[in-house]
């Protein structure tokens, strides 16, 4: 049952992912979460995030931010990094992920997802049939509902780590 929430893989940081390798493997689209995946919760895009998206465009990737946040937050960030977006996405519902692939012109075989939460980001990606990369949250300061979910995530990750040994 817990396998429902297991990511395809995990990484310490979004900025540690070998994006060139993913492109070489045939991926052409990346769906990202924003908060605590690319920047601390609520923070604007920083130089690191802006540089990452420039690099991703140079490699040849299409990108899209899929966020449960409201449009002002998502739009502001995406304008800074130059990416398309879907706000109030309703993750973990599949519809946002499917709409993201439609906008990017990619398929589930050529798209992967990067996010920091199991019960929204990863579960939604997995339900949609996407390869998912779970990254560690950038900053410990989070909204109370996320803090509570993190306790449950620890249990799932404990069993996930046991299963991959």
Quote the tokens at residue 53: 């998206």
Give me the tens of pLDDT residue by residue for the chain, a chain 165 residues long.
778 889 999 999 999 999 999 999 999 999 999 999 999 988 999 999 999 999 999 999 999 999 999 999 999 999 999 999 999 999 999 999 999 999 999 999 999 999 999 999 999 999 999 999 999 998 766 565 666 677 778 878 888 888 887
User: Where in the chain are the domains?
Assistant: 2-163
Interhelix angle 71-81/47-59, nearest 10 degrees? 60
Report the candidate in 40, 100, 45 with the shortest Cα–Cα distance to residue 67.
Answer: 100
In the CATH scheme, what is the code of domain 2-163?
3.40.50.1000
């Amino acid at each position: 049952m817990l396998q429902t929430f297991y990511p395809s893989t995990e990484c310490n940081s979004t900025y540690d992912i070998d994006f060139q390798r993913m492109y070489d493997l045939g991926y052409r689209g990346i769906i990202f979460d924003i908060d605590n995946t690319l920047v601390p919760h609520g923070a604007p895009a920083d130089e690191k995030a802006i540089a990452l998206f420039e690099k991703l465009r140079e490699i040849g990737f299409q990108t899209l931010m899929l966020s449960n946040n409201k449009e002002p937050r998502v739009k502001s960030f995406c304008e800074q990094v130059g990416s398309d977006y879907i706000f109030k996405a309703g993750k973990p519902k599949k519809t946002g992920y499917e709409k993201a692939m439609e906008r990017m012109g990619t398929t589930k075989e050529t798209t992967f997802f990067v996010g920091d939460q199991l019960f929204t980001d990863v579960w939604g990606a997995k339900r949609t049939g996407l390869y998912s990369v779970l990254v560690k949250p950038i900053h410990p300061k989070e909204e109370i509902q996320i803090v509570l979910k993190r306790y449950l995530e620890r249990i799932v990750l404990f069993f996930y780590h046991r299963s991959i040994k």
